Amino acid sequence: MRPSGIDPRNVLQVAPSPRDRGWDAPGRPRTALLPLLMGVLALGMVLTGCAEAPGSETDTWHASPIEETRPLFTEHFPPEEFAERRDRVYDAIGSDAIAVIQGAPTPMGFVAFRQSNEFYHLTGIESPHAYLILDGADREATLYLANRKEGREYGEGKVLSAEDADLVQELAGISRVRSIDDLRSDLQARGGAAAVYAPFAPPELRATTRNMANRTLGDIAEDPMDDREPRHERFLALLRSDLGVSELQDLNPILDEIRMIKSERELQMIRASSRLHGLAIMEAMRATEPGVTEYDIEAVARYVFWRHGAMGSAYYALSHVASNAHMNHYHAGVREALDGDMILLDYGADYHYYVSDMGRMWPANGRFNDVQRELYGFYLAFYEAILDRIRPGVSAQQVKLEALEEIDDILASWEFSRDSYEAAARDFVEAYRRGAQNPDTRLGHGVGMAAHDPFPYEGELLPGMVFVIEPQFRVSDEMIYIRLEDTIILTEDGAEIVTDFVPRDMESIERLVQQRGILQDYQRLMSEDGEFLDAADRLLSAARGN
């Protein structure tokens, strides 16, 4: 059964601090010297008359420490967890093979660097143009880092580089660290490896899933004036030449299998990301009233993400007003909601390399009308019938077949106001039934480091899997589209619907939409023509003391 009684005010519980896990950031074990050093520092402050609270000085430029406070290595996972993942790669490739993984490059333009999911998952290293060699013979990892760019560090902050080899070994627990200048000669020296593994798929970068990366590469291939070779494919070609091998082995199936079952720390990160996602959608509901735009709704969610430390968006906002929802990945985001419209929002954050995926629908005016209540109510009953039967130890097919027994009763008893609505509902149920006849049917897609995480499961559902369901109900002649989506973690005890705290029932949704939200307190300041509105004039006058 799904959890109940969750207070949404208390759901954003960030993943436990590494200090609560038994190590001190960044990745250093605790020592008994820390309390002693703090005591000596406090005594010195008393003796010198400097025991006032930080920030109480008024005759200095800085109240904060002048050192950079950004950690150089992740505080969310210890080095040992990355080592355990690399051990699983060694087990999979065997003692006569090596694996070579390419990290993400420096992004183009004023864009913050984000490591690829594949590279981060094995190392925790967030330096651009990094490479990793995993040697199955000695079960050791060699990390290759770019050389230090002192001018860039002066302006942007420190990045772990080849010159930090000792520090990287200490922080990340990687046995060997070398310069990127040594990579090709080192590869050529390993030419006798019986098998060489590398990822064949394009890497998952910021707001990227594998299918979306392949879509971009497909567009490039169709452009007659763009003959760029994808970076990961050029990398594979260089591996073949430097290692003297004609055939490489695809590392992606091994990495996908490792990523499919999440560790407890990964689940904590997904829970935190899901809570943040849910709170953002709830705030968007509260901010809604007729006249709100799709980009207003996105802005509210984005504010909540950034306010709580998100790295960015997991995917572009699917913020839909009225019939725009019928294009289920529409993201132009400019329509204004009228009284009587329905709104759909599906928009998640990238929370320290882990994401969630969920969606909700609500009426712009805060009240479901009769047609909305009729169709949304039918869909919700259908959706809940599936959720109630998800559990570990059974197949997706079994879940669907069991749910259909209840869904058939729902369809038979539901009263539809129009023949077209009943026909659409019957088509919806029959399509679901046809899918359930396939023994390899799936419930949805995986979620983890990407919104569509690799999910190569076969057979029964297992604890540690994370996925969503998102059945889609359409009445196409009226451009009606209904979809809900929730992130689900399978545990030993059952299904944890992580986003269950966000209301789906109509009464709770109506109460939430009618509350006051951010947009009611922060009025629009500029017109679409870029002119100041009255609210901006009042703000400017107050700033001038008028």
Task: For 196-208, give the secondary structure using H, E and C.
Answer: EEECCCCCCCCCC
CA 17 to chain centre: 19
- % pLDDT > 90, the chain: 83
Q: Report pLDDT for 245.
A: 87
- pLDDT tens digits for range 160-197: 999 999 999 999 999 899 999 999 999 999 887 889 99
Q: Rounded mean pLDDT of 107-128?
A: 97
Cα dihedral value 135, 127, 258, 356, nearest 10:
180
Of residues 486 and 25, the one with the higher pLDDT is 486
Q: Scan for tokens 């969310």, then name that residue.
A: 76
Q: Report pLDDT for 480.
A: 97
Number of C-beta neighbours around residue 499 at 10 A: 25
Of residues 64 and 430, the one with the higher pLDDT is 430
- SS3 state of residue 50: coil
CA distance 335 to 325: 11
Count of residues making up the chain: 546
Superfamily per CATH, domain 79-260? Creatinase/prolidase N-terminal domain (3.40.350.10)
**3-state SS string for 297-344:** HHHHHHHHHHHCCCCEECCCCEEEEHHHHHCCCCCCCCCECCCCCEEE
CA distance 280 to 378: 26
**Do residues 25 and 76 lie in contact, with contact meaning Cβ atoms separated by under 8 Å?**
no
CA distance 253 to 209: 15
Q: Report pLDDT for 58.
A: 73
Task: Report phi then psi at 185, rounded to 5.
Answer: -65, -35
Residue 480 β-bridge partners: 475
User: Looking at this protein, which amino acid is placed at residue 34?
Assistant: L
Strand 342-346 vs strand 349-351: parallel, antiparallel, or unpaired?
A: unpaired
Q: Where are the domains of the chain?
A: 79-260, 264-515
- pLDDT tens digits for range 362-404: 999 999 999 999 999 999 999 999 999 999 999 999 999 999 9
Predicted TM-score (pTM) of this structure: 0.88
Query: Is residue 38 scored above 70 in pLDDT?
Result: no
**Do residues 462 and 262 lie in contact, with contact meaning Cβ atoms separated by under 8 Å?**
no
CA distance 205 to 107: 10
Cα dihedral value 406, 412, 416, 422, nearest 10:
90
At residue 126's C-alpha, the angle toward residues 124 and 132, to 5°, is 65
Strand 195-198 vs strand 140-145: parallel, antiparallel, or unpaired?
A: unpaired
Which CATH code for domain 264-515? 3.90.230.10
Q: What is the average pLDDT score of the chain?
A: 90
CA 451 to chain centre: 6
* Distance (Å) of CA 442 to CA 432, 445, 447, 460, 473: 11, 8, 14, 11, 17
Whether the upstream peptide bond of residue 107 has omega within 30° of 0, thus cis, is: no
Band the pLDDT of 5: cuts 50, 70, 90: very low
The mean-pLDDT minimum among 5-9, 179-183, 203-207, 322-326 falls in 5-9
**Radius of gyration, CA atoms only, the chain:** 27
CA distance 296 to 288: 9
- pLDDT tens digits for range 123-143: 999 999 999 999 999 999 999
**Do residues 359 and 346 lie in contact, with contact meaning Cβ atoms separated by under 8 Å?**
yes
Band the pLDDT of 6: cuts 50, 70, 90: very low
Q: Scan for tokens 């436990």, then name that residue.
A: 16
Task: Report phi then psi at 255, rounded to 5.
Answer: -65, -40
Q: Containing H/E element for 102?
A: strand 97-102
- pLDDT tens digits for range 200-254: 999 999 999 999 999 999 999 999 999 999 999 999 999 999 998 888 999 999 9
Q: Scan for tokens 């913050």, then name that residue.
A: 112
Q: Report pLDDT for 361.
A: 98
**Do residues 119 and 125 lie in contact, with contact meaning Cβ atoms separated by under 8 Å?**
yes
Band the pLDDT of 328: cuts 50, 70, 90: confident
Q: Report pLDDT for 54.
A: 53
Query: Is residue 487 scored above 60 in pLDDT?
Result: yes
User: Looking at this protein, which amino acid is placed at residue 45?
Assistant: M
